[in-house]
Amino acid sequence: MVASVVQQSSRLVVKVGSSLVTNEGRGLDHAALSRWAAEIAALNKVGKQVVLVSSGAIAEGLQRLGWKARPKALHELQAAAAVGQMGLVQAYESCFREHGLKTAQILLTHEDLADRTRYLNARSTLLTLLSLGVIPIINENDTVTTDEIKVGDNDTLGSLVTNLIEADALVILTDQKGLYTADPRKDPNAQFVFNADAGTPELEEMAGGAGSSVGTGGMITKILAAKRAARSGAHTVIACGREGDVLQRLANGEPIGTQLIARTSPLAARKQWLADHLQLRGSLTLDAGAARALLQEGVSLLPVGVVAVKGEFLRGDVVSCCDDDGREIARGLINYSADEARRIMRVPSKQIEAVLGYIDEPELIHRDNLVLL
């Protein structure tokens, strides 16, 4: 058997479905939440960074409001989400506090991840929280979401967050054992899928529709989430959240559930994305020292090394970095707008705040957002 990809992963996104969080819609399952908190705390101790994407706000809201069936009207769903989110975050906070861990609540919409500036801000916030040892707990911002800005389900949200923070693996905990070649409830010949390549068309054919009335997903959303996660080089594991010590066992290398492998390395996927980015919004000309440091030492680009700024761009746009002969040597996501970059070029990072009145980041382009050409 192939060892679990979670064993080698240092940054994980764990997504738990609403039927697990709310015990099939009967209100928050505090025992389950407590169990995951203990497992995530154990992963944290061995140096793994974990982001938790948790469903359950609407289901918990329905229970708190005494509503028996999930409403159809968007405003009622949003009201239920607002009520349920309070209970969800409260419960997680107290569970993690028992292990001496701090938590942070982050609510996202598709718009936050489609807009480059918001995307970068969300990324910076999440990476800062992880560096502080905090467990971010993410949910879709159901209270403000509309069809236009809705991610739609937390499997998809989990994969988008995986891309956002460049996690090594996405672990989707569900009430199913994993993926079968057909629906085992209907087909006695259905075979369990232990390993497969993420994004293959056959997987989508195997996955049926949504099976539970509590959430909005189904196996198909998990397969599509794995395909999306693989774009940034992340593997996906789909496993049953009711298995004992499931996260720790996966971290120990035990193959549990279905493992969907990404065939692109994270760096290659990111390089591909940046290198292929056709919409270059501008360019920076670097002095010889900065160009050499970028090419030979793989460092971030600081404002002090920039001698000229061309074009009009905003924070989060892709710009090219050229040496003093005009040759493009790198591309990256810029942390400042063109106007700001012009004001802080040739300026040491510690003086950025004095020049602009604030500081977003000490570097113009962080090395994680930079690709050498």
Question: How far is 273 from 93, CA to CA, in rounded Å?
Answer: 37
pLDDT at 202: 84
Maximum separation of any 2 CA atoms in the chain, in Å: 70
- Alpha helices for 192-299 (secondary structure H): 201-206, 219-230, 246-251, 266-275, 288-297
* 69 exposure class (CB count in 10 Å sphere: 0-12, 13-18, 19+): exposed
pLDDT at 213: 38
Please state the φ and ψ torsions of residue 297, each to the nearest 5 degrees: -110, -10
Question: How far is 322 from 284, CA to CA, in rounded Å?
Answer: 6
284: tokens are 């920076």
Burial call 305-340: b when 16+ CB within 10 Å, e when fewer: bbeebeeebbbbbbbbbbbeeeeebbbbbbbbbbeb
User: Length of the chain in residues, anyone?
Assistant: 373
Using CA atoms, how far residue 344 sits from 292, 298, 331, in Å, is 20, 22, 19
pLDDT at 201: 83
pLDDT at 141: 85
CB atoms within 10 A of CB 236: 31
User: What domains does the chain contain, in order, with CATH numbers?
Assistant: 5-266 (3.40.1160.10), 277-372 (2.30.130.10)
pLDDT at 215: 39
Residue for token pair 């090419």: 295
Q: Which residues of the chain have a pLDDT value below 50? A: 149, 209-217
DSSP state of 365: B
The residues near 246 (Cβ < 8 Å, ≥ 6 apart) are 39, 173, 239, 240, 256
Closest CA to 133 of 54, 53, 33, 45: 45
Do the bridges between strand 235-240 and strand 169-174 make them parallel or antiparallel, or are there none, so unpaired?
Answer: parallel
Question: How far is 151 from 49, CA to CA, in rounded Å?
Answer: 24
* 85 exposure class (CB count in 10 Å sphere: 0-12, 13-18, 19+): buried
How do the residues of the chain divide into helix, strand and coil, expressed in percent and rounded to 5?
40, 20, 40
Question: How far is 38 from 247, CA to CA, in rounded Å?
Answer: 10
Do the bridges between strand 318-322 and strand 282-286 make them parallel or antiparallel, or are there none, so unpaired?
Answer: parallel
Where is 70: in which H helix or E strand? none
Do the bridges between strand 192-193 and strand 179-180 make them parallel or antiparallel, or are there none, so unpaired?
Answer: antiparallel
pLDDT at 168: 95
pLDDT at 350: 95
In single-letter form, the type of residue at position 303 comes to: P
